[in-house]
Amino acid sequence: MPPARRQWADTQVTLTNGSTSVTWPPVNWKELSKDQRLLELEYVAMTLTRATSGHQPFAERAELLEEFNFLALPGTVPLSPKKIQKPHFKSRLYMYQAIRMVAISETTSSSDEEKVSFLEGGCHRRRRSWDHLISVVDAAGIPLRLKEEN
């Protein structure tokens, strides 16, 4: 499941992977168009990915965007399941959308509880490649952005 988008504002963080460090978000990000925000996200995601020695490039652009979803700025074009080719990426995105709806809902059903239990059972096997970056974002107090789709 992709990491949740964050409510980026004026707080900047320094993200380091190997010997590469980047500052996020860009200073003037609120002045950028939706497309420019997406381009900035792709550039930083690829820069951080390439800093890991021996890491193979992503086969799909959508895979890269999914991995770095937590860096998507408000107003950035959301990742569409229609653009994802691989079924396991589509299923992770659909599960994220379902859990997001559970998180913002004022009531929960037994089906919602089953989804959460299912995810809790498999969380020890999740990909942890970028946990060190997500912990920097958490430490900076950047809240999750669940109520807005973009």
- Residue 76 per-residue DSSP state: S
Instruction: Look at residue 100 and tell me if it is in a domain.
Output: yes
Instruction: Look at residue 46 and tell me if it is in a domain.
Output: yes
Answer with the residue of higher pLDDT: 43 or 104.
43
Instruction: Look at residue 6 and tell me if it is in a domain.
Output: no
Instruction: Look at residue 66 and tell me if it is in a domain.
Output: yes
Mean pLDDT over the full length of the chain: 80
Q: What is the dihedral of CA 84, 75, 148, 63, to 10 degrees?
A: 20
- Tell me which residue range forms the domain holding 51: 13-139
Alpha-carbon gap, residue 116 to 69, rounded angstroms: 20
**What's the token pair of residue 144?**
């999750």
The pTM assigned to this predicted structure is 0.74
Instruction: Look at residue 149 and tell me if it is in a domain.
Output: no
Instruction: Look at residue 30 and tell me if it is in a domain.
Output: yes
Instruction: Look at residue 2 and tell me if it is in a domain.
Output: no
Instruction: Look at residue 123 and tell me if it is in a domain.
Output: yes
Alpha-carbon gap, residue 130 to 34, rounded angstroms: 24
pLDDT at 107: 66
- What percentage of the chain exceeds 90 in pLDDT? 36
Are 22 and 44 in contact, with CB atoms under 8 Å apart?
A: yes
Reported as a pLDDT band with limits 50, 70 and 90, residue 81 is low
Q: Does residue 32 register a pLDDT over 90?
A: yes
